[in-house]
Amino acid sequence: MIKRIQAWLSRKDRQEQPVEISPDNIPRHVAVIMDGNGRWAKRRGLPRIVGHQNGMKAVKRTTIAANDLGVEFLTMYAFSTENWKRPKEEVDFLMRLPVEFLALELDELIEKNVQVRVMGDTDALPAHTRKAMEEAVERTKHNTGLILNFALNYGSRKEIEDCMRGLGRDIQAGLLSPEDITSELIDNRLMTSGLPDPDLLIRTSGEMRLSNFMLWQVAYSEFWFTDAYWPEFDKTHLLQAVAEYQRRTRRYGGLK
């Protein structure tokens, strides 16, 4: 017990220290696995949906903080292909969250020159969710600032499977030969086509796994994990993650 208290105090002291960020080494693309909404609510004796509502506020905080920091691309893992297994009431609520979020925040995102994108199997989303996302994409398509990319009904294995099937069909049709398949070609066939690979991957809530998120794209990303639940995530956490990113040397398999 004493060791746990000492560890907690040590972590608290570190968090309260000023975070120094170099403007010359800001990660271009930050990807976030937003985890812990339900556990945040449970610890407070609240329904899980309250955790999701507060998680929506963290999306806004993080987007603004990333934009102010100079991040160019921010990908948020909003709903996975596996999340359909959750209780229907919770899934229905999660499908209403993008509608609520964009109704409240889209005008401010437009003011801040943020461009909204979405990747995933959007055809399987409820009509109201799909309509809200399509409107956000359309209204922000000419913005030139931060690209806020929502991974919605997204699963990396399915993404890769779909890519491989497409390449297989092209080979069968004589449009490609196996020798034509390169990493660059695969990059262009994935849902993240046109985006750089994430420089920094953040996951909240203390879990340390990828959960079927951007398995191809994070091959050389730097990972940063925090015990904070997603509804607690704020600018300080983002600065800590970027500061840690800047302390690391990215070798890409080579020597530096």
CB 207 within 8 A of CB 32: no
pTM: 0.90
pLDDT at 68: 96
pLDDT band at 254 (very low <50, low <70, confident <90, very high): low
Does the pLDDT value for residue 4 go beyond 70? no
Closest CA to 229 of 10, 20, 36, 33: 36
pLDDT digits (tens, 9 = 90+) for 203-235: 999 999 999 999 999 999 999 999 999 999 999
Catalytic choice (25, 35, 113, 197): 35
Which two structure tokens, joined as six digits, stand for 221?
């990303």
Active site residue 35: yes
Catalytic member of 24, 68, 83, 149 = 83
Q: How far apart are the first and last CA of the chain?
A: 42
Average pLDDT over residues 90-115: 96
pLDDT at residue 193 tops 80: yes
* Mean pLDDT value of segment 61-69: 97
pLDDT in the model for residue 13: 42
Task: Specify whether 170 is catalytic.
Answer: no
Q: Cα-flanking dihedrals φ and ψ of residue 202, to 5°?
A: -110, 135
At 18, which amino acid appears? P
pLDDT for 51 beyond 60 = yes
Please state whether 211 falls in left (phi above 0), alpha (psi between -120 and 50) or beta.
left
Q: Which tokens go with 215?
A: 């398995």
Decide if pLDDT at 255 tops 80: no
Annotated binding site for Mg(2+): 35, 222
Mean pLDDT of 93-121: 96
How do residues 130-166 score in pLDDT, each as one tens digit? Answer: 999 999 999 999 999 999 999 999 999 999 999 999 9
Strands (E), the chain: 29-33, 73-80, 115-119, 147-154, 200-203, 222-225
Average pLDDT, the chain: 93
The annotated binding site for substrate is made up of: 36-40, 48, 52, 80-82, 84, 86, 203, 209-211
Distance (Å, whole) CA 31 – CA 23: 19
Measuring CA to CA, which residue among 225, 221, 192 is closest to residue 119?
Answer: 192
Question: Could you give the CA distance from residue 36 to residue 228 in angstroms, rounded to a whole number?
Answer: 8
Q: Is residue 5 predicted with pLDDT exceeding 80?
A: no
Residue 147 has which token pair?
A: 């690209």
| pLDDT above 50 (res 9) | no
pLDDT band, residue 10 (cuts 50/70/90): very low
